[in-house]
Amino acid sequence: MDEWWKKSTVYQIYPRSFMDSNGDGIGDIQGIIQKLDYLNGLGVDILWLSPVYDSPNDDNGYDIRDYYQIMTEFGTMADFDELLSEVHDRGMKLVMDLVVNHTSDEHQWFKNHPDFYIWRDKPTNWRSFFSGSVWEYQKERGQYFLHLFSKKQPDLNWDNPELRKTVYEMMRWWLDKGVDGFRMDVINMISKVSDMHDAPGGDGSHQFLNGPNVHRYLKEMNKEVLSKYDIVTVGETPGTTPKEARDYTAVKNQELNMIFTFEHMGLDQASGEKWDLKPLLLTDLKKNMEKWQHGLHDEGWNSLYWNNHDQPRIVSRFGEDTDWRVESAKMLATCLHFMQGTPYIYQGEELGMTNVHFDSIDDYKDIETLNMYKEKRQAGVPHDDIMQQIQVKSRDNARTPMQWSAEPNGGFTTGTPWLKTNPNYKKINALQHTDPNSVYQYYKKLIGYRKKMDIITHGDFELLYREDGEIFAYTRKWNDEQLTVYCNFSKNIKSAARPEGKLLIGNYTETNAGNDVLLRPYEAMVYYQQ
């Protein structure tokens, strides 16, 4: 029997931008409850909630002040309990975000349990993910504390057994409540080397990514907590190779079920810096995906994603978001959803939502974007150059409110949204979800196939047309069955050999006759042979 999460599709909710039920401009838990039938109708099995815990929101909830309280803007614990039972009543599961690499500096531990954090007399030269140094001086103590992210997100000291015990207790508390698993924020950063030292270019990642004790701690967490429940776990693990992914996810290692790779998300960046833009080469993407499909085929498990709250919208990124928006959104979905692994859909992806283009820096709200803007301006980089990078890569691209209807603000709120709605909501919104040709209905079919067809769960992966820069094609083989997936990532008409079998699904309505298939702009087609 396959574990249930191997045939599941996960839907990620960013609560702040999902649905506002009380007109304060901020999404909330009652808003999510209102939309559960929409999500259930899509066929998704698991909902992952970005953090809903009490937080001063320096990093929109990824800075937790109290793990046992719900953020006031989102509602109350009673709202949460109602959500959990409404989700379960519909046969879906609910996964929480677990952010335990760091807390907020307003967490009471920071004051009452300084030994839960990481202190040094002298700073290293490491740079924070959110610009500036990773070290902040605290006068009272006369020492620096480590913060890989904002200075309001001090890193926890996982080498302290008392901290680990306290975290496990908190995890059990949520699992005992009935939540169905955790998405673990930057979980491969919890173990730092003991002799932290300067690093070339201020990049300290070799001293904190997949660090010396990370596997020991995850095995301990698994033994103390995870193994006692029928749940799903996914670790967010930047800078991780397939070999390391196997270490985290192989069943025999008793750590996590799957991890998020970042490699495919870095293929359109020219250096270690995410703002350093370069066009994607499709051959790079294909070979990277192939590496992960092969690397975790027999051991471990992949998670499959194009989008989340940290990434620009995929249709604007690897697709085409004007003339071919619907076709390319469906094509990208096809390409990903026939691979082996557990797919993740980020809110709005099922509508083909696009990047936003704000002209003023004041319309952006994300701490990463704003800190970077300030730092680059101080270094003399022209405003227009920075804005261009922000428009392409800012996390706010993913965070604009969900577009429910053509009502003001896309029907997300009756008030003023905390982040402006993408003005294209009149054209792109969820009212379309009942249209049989909508992106939503297409995703629904893909989710359905994964549940029904074992070949999607188990089949071997083979890349076709390896060196072609515009077609992404592959087969999946399992016993006597075969799936052939063709995806045209370009506007050009491409010819390819007609696969054996029958057309299972495609993103054009008229069929494609002839001995060869002609792939139209952004066309996707999947053939199935038995």
Q: Judged by CB under 6 A, does residue 185 bind ligand NOJ?
A: yes
Interacting positions 262-281 with ligand NOJ (CB under 6 A): none
Of all residues in the shown chain, the one whose CB is closest to ligand NOJ is 62
Q: Judged by CB under 6 A, does residue 149 bind ligand NOJ?
A: yes
Q: Is 54 a catalytic residue?
A: no
Q: Judged by CB under 6 A, does residue 146 bind ligand NOJ?
A: no
Single residue of 310, 320, 321, 327 touching ligand NOJ by CB under 6 A: 310
Strand partners, 260: 236
HEC letters along 238-265: CCCCHHHHHHHHCHHHCCCCEEECCHHH
Interacting positions 227-256 with ligand NOJ (CB under 6 A): 236
CB closer to ligand NOJ, 41 vs 239: 239
**Catalytic one of 59, 63, 155, 236:** 236
Q: In angstroms, rounded to a whole number, what is the distance separating the alpha carbons of residues 22 and 216?
A: 45
Burial call 499-518: b when 16+ CB within 10 Å, e when fewer:
beeeebbbbbeeebeeeebe
Question: Could you give phi then psi for residue 236, rounded to 5 degrees?
Answer: -85, 120
DSSP conformational letter for 421: P
Q: What's the CA angle centered on 29, arms 25 and 32, to 5 degrees?
A: 90
The amino acid that residue 122 corresponds to is K
Burial call 104-140: b when 16+ CB within 10 Å, e when fewer:
bbbbebbeebbebbbbeeebbebbbbbbebbbbeeee
Single residue of 20, 59, 79, 321 touching ligand NOJ by CB under 6 A: 59
CB closer to ligand NOJ, 19 vs 99: 99
Q: Which residues contact 461 (CB under 8 A, 6 or more apart)?
A: 290, 293, 294, 297, 339, 340, 474, 475, 476
Q: Judged by CB under 6 A, does residue 99 bind ligand NOJ?
A: yes
**Catalytic one of 73, 185, 247, 263:** 185
CB closer to ligand NOJ, 54 vs 185: 185
Q: Is 236 a catalytic residue?
A: yes
CB of 210: closest distance to ligand NOJ in angstroms? Answer: 16
CB closer to ligand NOJ, 186 vs 455: 186
Q: Judged by CB under 6 A, does residue 366 bind ligand NOJ?
A: no
Q: Which two tokens stand for residue 276?
A: 């350093």
CB of 281: closest distance to ligand NOJ in angstroms? Answer: 26
CB of 116: closest distance to ligand NOJ in angstroms? Answer: 17
Which residue numbers are catalytic? 185, 236
Query: What does the binding site for ligand NOJ look like in residue numbers (CB under 6 A)?
Result: 59, 62, 99, 149, 185-186, 236, 309-310
